[in-house]
Amino acid sequence: NAGVTQTPKFQVLKTGQSMTLQCAQDMNHNSMYWYRQDPGMGLRLIYYSASEGTTDKGEVPNGYNVSRLNKREFSLRLESAAPSQTSVYFCASSEALLSGRENEQFFGPGTRLTVL
């Protein structure tokens, strides 16, 4: 099993350009997440999808949109990239249960995005 995969691994954009980060999981998980990681800030939740067909805002949703295409795939779109969106982006997935290790999140390898 590949687990959680993300594409691309690296990307450089100019201010104002748009792009979509792709994420897919093969663990049949209901829930999927997008985080950004900035130096000294830990991981902050951008958007999440508790189940196919639903999406909700996390802590830092401004400037982003998401699509839960099907149970496997969850994409993150930057419509007009800004330098403040330079970051490492992680996708993750988990079961939606509330108790125990079922809430363990499995992470993709990350996308390093630079906006000039």
Nearer to another protein, 59 or 79 (CB): 59
Q: With CB under 8 A, what is the number of residues at the site for another protein?
A: 30
Q: Does 92 bind another protein (CB under 8 A)?
A: yes
Write the binding mask 2 to 41 for another protein: x where contact by CB under 8 A, - elsewhere.
-----------------------------x-x------xx
Q: Does 98 bind another protein (CB under 8 A)?
A: yes
Answer for the pair 32, 92: CB distance below 8 angstroms, yes or no: yes
Which one-letter DSSP state was computed for residue 15? T
**Residues with Cβ within 8 Å of residue 108, at least 6 apart in sequence:** 3, 4, 5, 6, 23, 90, 91, 92
Distance between CA atoms of residues 85 and 38, nearest Å = 10
Distance between CA atoms of residues 66 and 32, nearest Å = 11
Helix (H) or strand (E) holding 80: none
Among 44, 52, 61, 65, binds another protein (CB under 8 A): 44
Among 45, 52, 61, 86, binds another protein (CB under 8 A): 45
Q: Which residues make up the interface to another protein (CB under 8 A)?
A: 31, 33, 40-45, 48, 50, 54, 56, 58, 88, 90, 92, 94, 96-101, 103-107, 109-110
